[in-house]
Structure 1
Amino acid sequence: MSQHEISVNIPQALDPVYANRIQVAYKEDEFTFMFLHEIPGTNQARAKSIVSITPKHAKNLLAILARSMKDYEEKYGTIQAPSEKAGDTNVTMRGYS
């Protein structure tokens, strides 16, 4: 895979987004990620951003996240994923039409 650098222009008015939950949906030609902020002490979450990408980009994202997590854990220590903790019921939305 060839890599090239690109110049990224980030508008000054673009605000950072904090999300503590992500829902994933997919169909044949796209993956959609809904970044949510779950409100503590309630049964509610607010959508902060929705991003759709092609399946090929989703596969690339998976690879770069795996590589980045490996590097992170080598530097800072192993992270136990929520799905690995007993009793966790954090579910994601899967599939849509």
Structure 2
Amino acid sequence: MADDNKPKKGQINIELDADVAQGIYSNLAIINHSQSEFVVDFVSIMPGVPKSKVKSRIVLTPQHAKRFLKALNENVSRFEKNHGPIKENNQPQMPINFGPTGEA
């Protein structure tokens, strides 16, 4: 029975810390890229508050960004199959002052 807990060949053991499991709310994602990476900044914007901070930044290789896009598309499709279409609200374009831009 003790061998049941050992990872099988090719299997990855992933831990989720309690503080990370809480998650971070985001209602805006800003995506930039260079030749070697994609950078996704997650922001929480609140109505009437003129300034917001990046809550989390994820840096991905182009290959991983493409796999992430595919996985997200598959999950949205499954969600819509179970719960109906996700309605896209047309929101006015917000000017975002994000500081200087650069390339890595």
Q: What's the TM-score, normalizing by structure 2?
A: 0.73
User: Matched residues, percent identical?
Assistant: 22
CA-to-aligned-CA distance 1:24-57 (integer Å, 9 cap, x gap): 0100000000000102212222211011000000
| Larger fraction in strand | 1
Are 1:8 and 2:14 matched, yes or no?
yes
CA distance in structure 1 between the partners assigned to 2:102 and 2:86 by the alignment: 30
The CA deviation string for residues 67-89 of structure 1, in whole angstroms up to 9 with x for no partner, is 1101100111101334xx2x531
1:64 aligns with 2:71: yes
Q: Which residue of 1 aligns with 2:92?
A: 88
Structure 1 spans left out of the alignment, 5+ residues? none
Deviations 1:4-25 (A, max 9, x none): 5422111234342111111001
TM-score (norm 1): 0.78
Which of these residues, 37, 40, 48, is aligned with residue 41 of structure 1?
Answer: 48
SS at match of 2:70: helix
Question: Does 2:36 match 1:29?
Answer: yes
Structure with more contact order per residue of length (Cα contacts < 8 Å, sep ≥ 6): 1
Q: CA deviation at 1:66?
A: 0.7
